[in-house]
Amino acid sequence: MTDNPPTAEPLVFALPDHRIASLTGRDALAFAQAQFMNDVAALPIGHWQWNGWLTPKGRVIAFFTLLKLDEERLLLIVADVDPAKLIAKLERYVFRSKIRIEVVEDRFVIGSFAAPPTAKAARFGGDPEHGIELDLGGDGGSRTLRIAVEPVTPDADAAARWTAFDLAHGLPRLDASQTEAWTPQQLSLDRLKAYSVKKGCYPGQEIVARTHFLGRAKRGLVLFESNQPLRPGSEVHEDSTTHGTIVSAAADLALAVMLPVQPKQTLHVDGVPVRERPLVNGLAR
């Protein structure tokens, strides 16, 4: 008989603002490579990457996690965006490609603040039939995201903590008011290795590449803390001068697209003072 008490199982909770879409068929990989901003062709089977879809003007329509199951099957984990609406827009560009794009209704996205048993960094674990796990931990701690075959009980506090973890690590969560508003550079998505400037053409690629090679990205993400909740779309001020815009907010944290400034006085948002915090690293894949 051991004197050590049993280890408590980590809390597992639903992430209801995360949904899944699939791209399947002979042309699925080629379609994703031509439409999305990261290099899908270079991604090994059994791995995942941060990725997104841009307007022709280089503005982020959706930001998501892309998994490569094999050469004809991709999964997208989409947060804060209705996947059915995203699919409807993507289908306009299918033309005669042999590809099927659909919402995955029989799988559920769940999370836990524990290290995954088998997944590591960009390599995912498990299998599509029984469930897939991803390592979404960073320097701020361990996390596991699972594509599960069964739903679990929601936990609003845990889900809010998950979103705050994203923001603290510089992973923007874009609601409808912030879609098609920002370039990948303005959202500092280079920190997550979420786009490519070397692969072939994709919508917005010219804008992204020109900004990268000419070094013209004047704005980037800044993390703020406040004593009151903030709203996406609100402006960051110093006195009457506007320095940026809130793009994501959760609990006492917010991400803002900001000009590089050294404020002489306290910055504020809708009259609420905000304090800058350093972004946490470790989510790049």
Q: Are residues 223 and 93 in the same domain?
A: no
Q: Residue 191 in 3-state DSSP?
A: helix
CB-based burial label for 22 (10 Å; 0-12, 13-18, 19+): buried
Q: Is residue 206 part of a domain?
A: no
Dihedral, 256, 259, 264, 267 alpha carbons, nearest 10 = -20
Q: Domain total for the chain?
A: 2
Q: Are residues 173 and 261 in the same domain?
A: no
Quote the CA–CA distance of 90 and 35 in Å, as a whole number.
Answer: 9
Quote the CA–CA distance of 178 and 175 in Å, as a whole number.
Answer: 6
Q: Is residue 131 part of a domain?
A: no
Q: Is residue 84 part of a domain?
A: yes
Arithmetic mean of pLDDT, 191-208: 95
Domain that holds residue 77: 12-105+158-178
Quote the CA–CA distance of 237 and 267 in Å, as a whole number.
Answer: 6
Quote the CA–CA distance of 68 and 132 in Å, as a whole number.
Answer: 12
Q: Is residue 272 part of a domain?
A: yes
In this prediction the pTM is 0.94
Q: Are residues 16 and 97 in the same domain?
A: yes
The string of pLDDT tens digits covering residues 211-246 is: 888 876 789 999 999 999 999 999 999 988 999 999
Angle in degrees, CA 137, 142, 146, rounded to 5: 70
Q: Residue 195 in 3-state DSSP?
A: coil
Q: Are residues 166 and 231 in the same domain?
A: no
Q: Are residues 33 and 85 in the same domain?
A: yes
Q: Are residues 166 and 264 in the same domain?
A: no
Quote the CA–CA distance of 237 and 41 in Å, as a whole number.
Answer: 43
Q: Are residues 171 and 77 in the same domain?
A: yes
- Residue 93 dihedral angles phi and psi, to the nearest 5°: -110, 5
Quote the CA–CA distance of 251 and 69 in Å, as a whole number.
Answer: 35
CB 70, CB 60: distance < 8 Å:
no
Say which CATH number the domain at 18 has: 3.30.70.1400
Arithmetic mean of pLDDT, 56-66: 97
Q: Is residue 115 part of a domain?
A: no
Close Cβ partners of 4 (under 8 Å, ≥ 6 residues apart): none
The string of pLDDT tens digits covering residues 107-140 is: 999 999 999 999 999 999 999 999 999 999 999 9
Say which CATH number the domain at 229 has: 2.40.30.110
Residue with tokens 């996406």: 232
The string of pLDDT tens digits covering residues 67-111 is: 999 999 999 999 999 999 999 999 999 998 999 999 999 999 999
C-alpha 80, offset from chain centre: 9
Quote the CA–CA distance of 160 and 277 in Å, as a whole number.
Answer: 19
